[in-house]
Structure 1
């Protein structure tokens, strides 16, 4: 099963989880999406939370991605204002050849994931993908072996069933 793990990370927590998934899954690719929007250090967090709350999009790198070679797409995002980030929203919207692909999502957060699952479901299904599940990873569990093993098992179980 070919897996593409697409994530956005600001503090490194989501990156750490995405890299862990990639390190224990065979035939996976990591794609980090970066937000190219310009904000001052003072207003960056406030502007990003406002954009996340409104489910806005932003300028990203890479600006597009082709999903044709993958069996499963894994999306990862921190939680901002109880929702996934504008960068991950933008890359989901920019995916090519993603229709009918299975997709799962995970978030990293310091508290609760809020409406992140519903938002991811809406974005994924809106692009014609099959929403195959959601997991939330609390920042205190980022280095927890049992939590990481559970997340990897969840990802592997979400893939297409081979007959």
Structure 2
């Protein structure tokens, strides 16, 4: 089964979780769509602020290659900032287009407030047409 893991990470925790999930999917053909902020902390915060203001110019090339058509399962992983996923989550889902017939899983990395974020992520992915089969 072709699987895409689309995730955003700033500190590495979401990436590690995505990799752990992929390692458990031994009979799946897994690809990644990573959005990873690197560099000094202040640079990461500035980029996150751009994303929150819907400026995705720094990752536009990557976003333009995003195509979910060939995948059977799409896994979305996001951190939680201020009780919500980062704005880049909405952009990734939007760029994937119609997800009708796709199965999806959503996960987030949060210390305390993950439940509402998962509900939001699930609703957004279902709005795009996918069937969310699990969340964590």
Aligned in 2, Cα 1:44/1:95: closer, same or farther, shift over 3 Å?
Answer: same
What's the counterpart of residue 32 of structure 1?
Answer: 34
Structure-2 separation of matches of 1:111 and 1:95? 29
Partner of 1:74: 75
- Give the whole-Å Cα distance in 2 for the aligned partners of 1:72 and 1:2: 7
Query: Greater helix share, 1 or 2?
Result: 2
TM-score normalised over the length of structure 2 = 0.78
Contact 1:5 1:29 in 2 (8 A): yes
Q: How does 1:105-120 map to 2 (within 5 A)?
A: 105-120=106-121
Q: 1:121, 1:67 → 2: CA distance?
A: 17
Bigger shift: 26-35 or 13-22?
26-35
Q: Distance in 2 between matches of 1:42 and 1:101?
A: 35
Residue equivalent to 1:14:
14
> Structure 1, unaligned stretches of length 5 or more?
136-163
| Distance in 1 separating the partners of 2:135 and 2:90 | 15
Q: 1 CA distance for matches of 2:82 and 2:54?
A: 15
Residues of 1 paired with 2:96 and 2:18: CA distance? Answer: 19
The answer to whether the 8 Å contact 1:68/1:96 transfers is no
Count the aligned residue pairs. Answer: 124
- Alpha-carbon distance in structure 1 between the residues aligned to 2:19 and 2:68: 19
Q: Give the secondary structure class of the aligned counterpart of 2:19.
A: helix
Coordinate RMSD, CA, aligned: 2.5
> Which of 1 and 2 has greater Rg?
1
CA shift for structure 1 position 116: 0.6
Alignment of 1:98 onto 2:99? yes
C-alpha change, 1:127 and 1:20, in structure 2 (3 Å) is same
